[in-house]
Amino acid sequence: MAQSNDRPRILVTGGAGFIGSHTTVALYEAGFHPVVVDDLRNSREDVVAGMERIIGAPVEWHRADCGNSEAMAPVFSQPVAGAIHFAADKAVGESVEHPEKYFDNNIGGTARFVAMLREHHVPHLVFSSSCTVYGEASQLPVSETSPILPAESPYGYTKQACEQLLWNAHAAAKGQLGVAILRYFNPIGAHPSAEIGELPLGPPANLVPFLTQAVAGHRGPLTVFGEDYPTADGTCVRDYLHVCDLAEAHVAALNWLEGAKGELDTFNLGTGEGSSVKEVIASFEEATGEKVPHQMGDRRAGDVTAIYANPIKAKEKLGWATKRSLKTCLADAWHWQQRLSQS
Ligand code: UD1
């Protein structure tokens, strides 16, 4: 592998984002040299300082759009052992309003970045996909062989299209590019140090950051989007996993790629357990002792009723499984919110 200070250099696009920053820390702790590439369109520079405080060392980072080959030239000026591609827009609702933005940044950006990887003979790519590719699954839990149904949102479609692109690029590279496609379920929580966490700019679209901001009094009550779904309590069911567990899966995927010799494979990353929105609220209250101000509301466009993972393949092939409980996730998210509220 390409080395820097005896550590393999791994590009992390979107490395100042929520999952990217936790993965950067996990990579460093596992002996890699992470190279953060982020144009800060949806993050802030102080995330880098938070990562540096955790690892106690400087983080190499480049403020660059990973889809811009000129801006990426300095990143590729030294050999690269692998890449993890997170950089993308990710708000389901926004993608319904502004599909062009999602097609351009998520699909176009990935196509341009993959072309650079091939040009620079980078042997390994880990791609940030999503359980959204399954659409409204008819059988639960979903496994990697479950059907890819029509996407419920433009965001979901971009993940499906990027997966297809990677199959084609992998075939074209004829064994020179190994690819791990990781389908995340719902990552939440924050690093236990509360140095890094989810940092939504503007009103959060996702459940847990909205919930913690509502509890902290920065927002009005949380609206539960729909209580007439065909689930046990009427609210949507998701598979919530701790972002630090998810970060460790990327290290496991890189290690798998190192032995896989140019293969492509796809992995579900979840706990295997579904929790409803009401269960998340109750669990948060138990974990923190705080009351969640909330109200019932209408369904949100683009939401599926229920989805959770069959995570067996990741356990068998990557040796990875989640370790942290839902309560730990929510306690860590609250700890992070309290830190943000003070700053
Ligand atoms: C979706 C994708 C997920 C992706 C994420 C990125 C699906 C099935 N999942 O997650 O893969 O990583 O977007 O943003 O497409 N909720 C409320 N009130 C709120 C916010 C959310 O009730 O204010 C509910 C939603 O209706 C949903 C659950 O909370 O049932 C989780 O929502 P959210 O955190 O936004 O994630 P998903 O939409 O499930």
Q: Which of 28, 155, 184, 308 is catalytic?
A: 155
Cβ partners under 8 Å of residue 286, min gap 6? 327
Q: What residue type is 68 in one-letter code? A: N
pTM, to two decimals: 0.97
Q: What is the mean pLDDT of the chain?
A: 96
Query: Is the minimum distance from the CB of 278 to ligand 1 under 6 angstroms?
Result: no
Average pLDDT over residues 198-207: 89
**What is the distance between the alpha carbons of residues 231 and 11, in angstroms, rounded to a whole number?**
41
Per-residue CA distances from 83 to 43, 113, 201 (Å): 20, 10, 26
Average pLDDT over residues 190-216: 94
pLDDT at 121 over 80: yes
- Closest Cα to atom 29 of ligand 1: 207
Q: Which structure tokens are listed for 341?
A: 């509220």
Query: Is the minimum distance from the CB of 158 to ligand 1 under 6 angstroms?
Result: no
Q: What pLDDT was estimated at residue 4?
A: 57
Indicate which atom in ligand 1 lies nearest the CA of residue 208. Answer: 34
- DSSP state at residue 134: G
| Residue whose entry in the numeric block shows the structure tokens 């092939």 | 317
Measuring CA to CA, which residue among 188, 184, 187 is closest to residue 269?
184
Measuring CA to CA, which residue among 81, 57, 62, 73 is closest to residue 6?
81
134 is an active site residue: no
Q: What pLDDT was estimated at residue 2?
A: 53
Q: What pLDDT was estimated at residue 70?
A: 97
Per-residue pLDDT tens digits for 39-87: 999 999 999 999 999 999 999 999 999 999 999 999 999 999 999 999 9
Q: What pLDDT was estimated at residue 17?
A: 97
CATH of domain 3-190+240-270+309-322: 3.40.50.720
Indicate which atom in ligand 1 lies nearest the CA of residue 185. Answer: 11
Q: Where are the domains of the chain?
A: 3-190+240-270+309-322
**What is the whole-number distance in angstroms between the Cα of residue 77 and the centre of ligand 1?**
39
- Give the helix ranges, DSSP H, for the chain: 18-29, 46-55, 69-72, 92-97, 99-102, 109-119, 154-173, 207-215, 243-260, 277-288, 312-313, 326-342
Beta bridge partners of 186: 240
- Give the helix ranges, DSSP H, for 120-199: 154-173
pLDDT at 299 over 70: yes
